Amino acid sequence: MSAKSPYPMTPEEVASYRAAVEALVAECLALIRDYPVERDADPVSERGQR
Amino acid sequence: MTQPYEWSVAEAAERIRDKRISSRGYVQALLARIRDYEPSLHAWAHLAGDWAEAQASQCDEDTVRGVSRGPLHGVAVAIKDNYDVIDLPTRGGSDLSDDKPAAADAVAVARLRRAGAVVLGKTAMTPFAAMDPAPTRNPWNGDHTPGGSSSGSAAAVGAQMCAAALGSQTAGSVLRPAAYCGVVGLKPTYDAVSRQGLMACAWSMDHVGVIARDVDDAALLFGVLTGAGPADSKDSDGQITVGIPDRGFDISDASDAEAFVGAVDVLAKAGAKIVSVEVPDGLQSLASAGILVMYAELAAFHRDLYSRRASEYPPRLRVLVEAGLSIAAPDYVNALRVRHHAAGELSSALAGLTVLLTPTTTSPAPSRQGSTGDWRFNLPFSASGHPAITLSCGFAKNGLPLGIQAVASHGREDFLFKVGRLFQQHSDWHKRRAPMKAGPI
């Protein structure tokens, strides 16, 4: 089987897909950047999980 | 009288053990079915018919000598094309991969074969387990996707070409295609089954998975894959508590949501306690972190090959590799930290439950033109590593299967099997079969 998809995309479809993926990545980055960075080298978030 | 292709793994194993059929006879019956339907289904990347018959003959010779190799003695299975199978190439759904035959079986494949399984061949998958569709069609309706990336494994089991197959899941690649094809899909706890010999997609989220037609077979194969034997419930008499999330798992079409409501009702009438569960605030963060980790690790896997052969990459994978390459190292590290934290919140929410129950997918299988469907209901549990199973629970108004997803605490696959068995004892959705017709679907 070819590496190429049996359902090729037009340049417009690729551009649309790229825009959607980039928007998703930007949204995910924004969300995780809201998480507080903990000063402690043994973060509260990880205590009790080991 | 039932046909061999209709038998579950357990039924086939019993008949072969009792010498009511030889393994070779069983394998030949499956190969005949594959010959009938493969021209229209495209479930296989490499069918190893002659080798399968030779493996089956060796099982039969052992049977004559009174030797049983294990619980899968003589039963044929399919292997997704991203697992190493000795002497066969591991292409991962792409001819960008090395064509060199594997020198040894992947650990998961070796455990199946050591238990007596016969390998029929390798199943089709999306290239490198990403988003570009495989050529495979959905056995229930050929105009629709079987899902991905374990497209061929789910379609082959759904079309009764084999009773079980290996799949793998990084986001939703076992549960989603299994639900779309009306069969059972199991993603065990992260690390419960060795990934040695499985081609990576995103290392920290890749899971070995099983596709079968009923819960008993999924449990049987899980026991073989872990080397722990039959995975029976550790506390089979306990009250079953099923949590229903209060938000975040809405099906796109309200009429299709009735199947999920009906499934909850089946479990309630069978004695399960149903409770509403407040979805942890961190679930969205878990999904977001999982997406970033997945794209970054995927890009790390492809960086060298992509730098040399980008123009040969399929279009969606190309976009995903470039998106992953754009994620900075501090963001990747932060995503890992957030994932760890949010997974802990989810573990706390699961602690008082037997399972959390959700629809498996946002909709039934969409059109196969350009999509393998939406993995958003599965991804959080791939990111957290919690075990999950999908069970067929009815049909959408367009006649395509729908599934329920049960999720349990780490290491509690026995809870999934307990709830799954209860559901299948009180419903018959898992006995429905795709209306296959010879020739084009």
pLDDT attached to residue B263: 97
Q: What is the mean pLDDT of residues A11-26?
A: 97
User: In this predicted model, what pLDDT tens digit does every residue of B186-237 receive, in sequence order?
Assistant: 999 999 999 999 999 999 999 999 999 999 999 999 999 998 876 555 555 6
What per-residue confidence (pLDDT) applies to B34? Answer: 97
CA dihedral B395, B401, B406, B411 (to 10 degrees): 160
Euclidean distance between the first and the last CA atom of chain A, given in angstroms as a whole number: 45
pLDDT at A8: 84
The per-residue pLDDT for A2 is 40
User: What's the mean pLDDT in B280-304?
Assistant: 96
In DSSP notation, B79-95 reads EETTB--BTSB--TT-T
**What is the b/e burial string over B45-55, where b = at least 16 CB atoms within 10 angstroms of the residue's CB?**
bbbbbebbbeb
Distance from CA of A39 to the nearest CA of B (A): 13
* Residue B87: per-residue pLDDT: 96
**Contact assessment for residue B147 and residue B154, using Cβ atoms and an 8 Å cutoff:** yes
Mean pLDDT of B115-132: 97
pLDDT value for A42: 67
Q: pLDDT digits over B110-122, tens only?
A: 999 999 999 999 9
The mean predicted confidence, pLDDT, of chain B is: 95
Complex-level ipTM: 0.92
Q: Which among B149, B150, B233, B285 is annotated as catalytic?
A: B149
Residues of B in contact with A9 (CB under 8 A): 315-316, 370
Q: Which residues of B319-344 are buried (b: 16+ CB within 10 A; e: fewer)?
A: bbbbbbbebeeebbebbbbbbbbbbb
- What whole-number distance in Å separates Cα of residue B432 and Cα of residue B430? 6
Condensed to tens digits (0 to 9), the pLDDT of residues B364-383 reads 999 988 789 999 999 999 99
CATH of span B4-183+214-226: 3.90.1300.10
Q: At B300, phi and psi to the nearest 5?
A: -60, -40
Backbone CA torsion sign across B75, B20, B139, B391: negative
Model confidence at A41: pLDDT above 90:
no
Is B173 catalytic? The answer is yes
| Site of tokens 């129950």 | B357
* B345 secondary structure, DSSP code: H
Chain A nearest C-alpha distance from B134 (Å): 7
Cβ neighbors of B318 (< 8 A, separation 6 or more) are: B306, B310
- Is the pLDDT at A45 greater than 70, yes or no? no
| Residue B68 designated active-site | no
Does B340 contact A46 at a Cβ distance shorter than 8 Å?
Answer: yes
Percent of chain B with pLDDT over 90: 91
Span B300-316, mean pLDDT?
Answer: 97
Confidence of residue B299 (pLDDT cuts 50, 70, 90): very high
**Quick one: pLDDT at residue B281?**
84
Contact B95 A3 (CB under 8 A): yes
As beta bridge partners, residue B168 has: B208
Where along chain B do its domains lie? 4-183+214-226
Contact A5 B96 (CB under 8 A): no
- pLDDT confidence of residue A3: 43
Asked if B174 and B167 touch (Cβ cutoff 8 Å), the reply is yes
Q: Indicate yes or no: CB of B316 within 8 angstroms of CB of A25.
A: no
Overall average pLDDT of the A12-37 stretch = 93
Number of H helices, E strands in chain B: 13, 11
